């Protein structure tokens, strides 16, 4: 199963609402996770089960979708949210190639 | 509180075997609720690549593309997981992470800080 994320890079301003996409090449139900990675840091789990926030994740992060199409929404971007975001199908543990959020 | 920490050589020569150790605390890898420990790497400028996973019961899975080069083992009493990768090549240079595979989340909910491995003669 191949995980494809879009866009590769997104230039946005603080306060904006953004949506990142992740597409699976085959049906994966809701077996999808989202991770955030900042420079020099390990990834951090944000969302599992496609829509459940991990412990300590602020409510501005939301996940949706099932089957083959998934989205990660950040309702109002904060300065600390500029990072790379990866989706992962956690049956075969495949990661997408990532979407980089950069400051416009 | 779950923590994991990777250790191993920072420099290996091409064709050598890499051995990395993940030392963990805050969970047991000898009971079902401990689920498992995974290894993931990130090569320069690249995305994350899952390598291997070992479960509490000793079962394991490997990345199909690297299966022939990987071995993952655990020592539950020492709270360690060891990954070996044979026939190292410069393209294997990168940061290697271990992570806790969560029963509840199904994903990797806690990660180590990572260890940098350079493959060069």
Name the average pLDDT for chain A: 95
Q: Confidence class of residue B118 from pLDDT cuts 50, 70 and 90?
A: very high
CB B62 within 8 A of CB B51: yes
Contact list, B50 vs chain A (CB under 8 Å): 88, 93-95
Query: Contact B96/B20 with Cβ under 8 angstroms?
Result: yes
Give the separation between CA B34 and CA B39, rounded to whole angstroms: 16
Predicted confidence at residue A86, as pLDDT, reads: 98
Task: Give the model's pLDDT for residue B51.
Answer: 97
Interface test with B, best of A6, A8, A36, A45 (most B CBs within 10 A): A45
Q: Does B112 touch chain A (CB under 8 A)?
A: yes
Closest residue by Cα to residue B106 from A49, A54, A42? A49
Query: Within an 8 Å CB–CB cutoff, is residue B117 touching chain A?
Result: no
Closest residue, chain A, to B65 (C-alpha): A94
CA B111 vs CA B13, B33, B40, B51: distances in Å: 27, 17, 10, 14
Q: What is the pLDDT of residues A46-89, one digit of tens each?
A: 999 999 999 999 999 999 999 999 999 999 999 999 999 999 99
Q: What CA–CA distances, in Å, run from A53 to A62, B14, B99?
A: 7, 42, 18
Task: Catalogue the E-assigned strands of B56-93.
Answer: 60-62, 70-75, 80-85
Q: How confident is the model at residue B46 (pLDDT cuts 50, 70, 90)?
A: confident
- Please report which confidence band the pLDDT of residue B32 belongs to, taking 50, 70 and 90 as the band edges: confident
pLDDT tier at B34, thresholds 50, 70, 90: low
**pLDDT tens readout for residues B63-80:** 999 999 999 999 989 999
pLDDT at B93: 96
């Amino acid at each position: 199963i191949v995980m494809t994320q879009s866009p590769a890079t997104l230039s946005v301003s603080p306060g904006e609402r953004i949506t990142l996409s992740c597409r699976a090449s085959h049906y994966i139900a809701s077996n999808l996770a989202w991770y955030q990675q900042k420079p020099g840091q390990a990834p951090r789990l944000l969302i599992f089960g496609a829509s459940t926030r991990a412990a300590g994740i602020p409510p501005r992060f939301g996940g949706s979708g099932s089957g083959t199409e998934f989205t990660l929404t950040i309702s109002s971007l904060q300065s600390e949210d500029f990072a790379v975001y990866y989706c992962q199908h956690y049956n075969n543990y495949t990661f997408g190639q990532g979407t980089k959020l950069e400051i416009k | 509180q779950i923590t994991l920490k990777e250790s191993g050589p920072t420099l290996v020569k091409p064709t050598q075997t890499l051995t990395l150790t993940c030392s963990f605390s805050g969970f047991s890898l000898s009971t079902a609720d401990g689920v498992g420990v995974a290894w993931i790497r990130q090569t320069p400028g690249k995305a994350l690549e899952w390598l291997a996973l070992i479960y509490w019961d000793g079962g394991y899975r490997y990345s199909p593309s690297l299966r022939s080069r990987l071995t993952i083992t655990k020592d539950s009493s020492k709270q360690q997981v060891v990954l070996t990768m044979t026939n190292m090549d410069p393209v294997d240079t990168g940061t290697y992470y271990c992570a806790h595979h969560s029963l509840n989340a199904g994903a990797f909910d806690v990660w180590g800080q990572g260890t940098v491995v350079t493959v060069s003669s």
